[in-house]
A and B are shown apart, each in its own frame.
Chain A
Amino acid sequence: MIEVKGVRKSFGDLEVLKGIDLVVEKGEVISVIGASGSGKSTMLYCVNALESIDSGHIIVDGVDVHSRDTNVNRLRTNIGMVFQQWNSFPHLTTLENVALAPRIVLGKSKQEALEIARKQLEHVGLVDKLDVYPSRMSGGQQQRLAIARALAMEPNYMLFDEVTSALDPELVGEVLDTLRLLSDEGMSMIVVTHEIGFARDVSDRVAYFHEGKIEELGPPSQVLDNPESQQTRKFLANVR
């Protein structure tokens, strides 16, 4: 379970998160929508301790993420993250990209790590690209590589930050299909996305972010189809 409780966060004078409360149950898929600059990415970074917080708590499987004596490296292996800009490591082949962290972070043997990597690449449909360098792959393939790389750590949670918004339209589908597959397998995920249709399909709940706050939170049928808030309605009208 991920519990986000009253989290506040500022960059200098700019308060980006103004008290966020959100609980992600085991196996739950939560989509996060909202305008650019509303703090969606920042919240994900805070959950993964890639950014600090000013007040509040984030607790993942009972571990306080921002407590002084939490081992953030161990914690991060439990939370996979995929970014908007595919961050494949350009100097490693596809297989090496995925096998590296299991070996040096989880301490698996080289053989085990390669085995895990192969399995995860098969999972996302990249078995035919094992020895290819990322520069030879399309954006969609690189993004699936990033997903496999995160999955190789066998995390309990996955965070996705607008993973399709830098892709060419014809490549969006293959990545969304991969996400759909994960959700069918019962992975707990927070998915920041602009794909409203996709959010409706896969999410258990949808959170609408507005200026650093969760304006509305509920099942897709409510938030996306019958929003209570004026703001949500305005946003959705613009997106469509």
Chain B
Amino acid sequence: MGSSSVFTGFQFSDLGFLAEAAGRTLLISALAISIGTFLGCIFGWILSVTRVVGDATLGVVLDVFRSVPLIIQLILFYNFFPIIGFDLNPFAAGTVVLVFYTSALVAAVVRGGISATPSATRRAARSLGMTYWQDLRYIVWPIGLRAVLPSWAGVALGVLKDSALVSVLGYVELLRASQILITRTQEPFLILIIVGAFYFALSFPISRLTARLERTWQYD
């Protein structure tokens, strides 16, 4: 009854376990990024319209999400519900926090994108008889999109990596899975490399692509 009965080496089936966990990482990231971006666009638009009033209200709230460590946000939110007599599973809690965290980051980006269109250009658009919404749709949107896409991609990749923190709530995503395997197999180096390679394979091509896009857009 040596340690070998407790600690078994890394097996092929463990790859399946990791893949499943990777799927969860992708799922929670995709949810956070899509819903968070949607909300972030709305928040960013509200901020740009309401200006000072928005900054003093919504702006302050969103700023909290950017100024408190995500890990503490997660723990706070997760432990808040038992207090009001309501149990939330780690997945739901993690998703909600990540969504708001993402939306706060996206709002800042979107706000910058809207102000990227010089007011002279917008006035020109309105002078051609465009409505407010046409101006937004045909002038501000295409100009802002170019200004914003690289930073948005940065936010999205950041959220993908930050989703690893949901592991503290016990949700078995990729990083948590690797911890479990490390404890069992005692082969941390191999497992960390596999997990690192997964994140890298996802993040690196996208960051390269956006850097390239950013460069080509600068020249025309």
Q: A–B direct touch, CB within 8 Å, in complex?
A: no
> Interface on B for A, CB 8 Å cutoff?
none
> Interface on A for B, CB 8 Å cutoff?
none
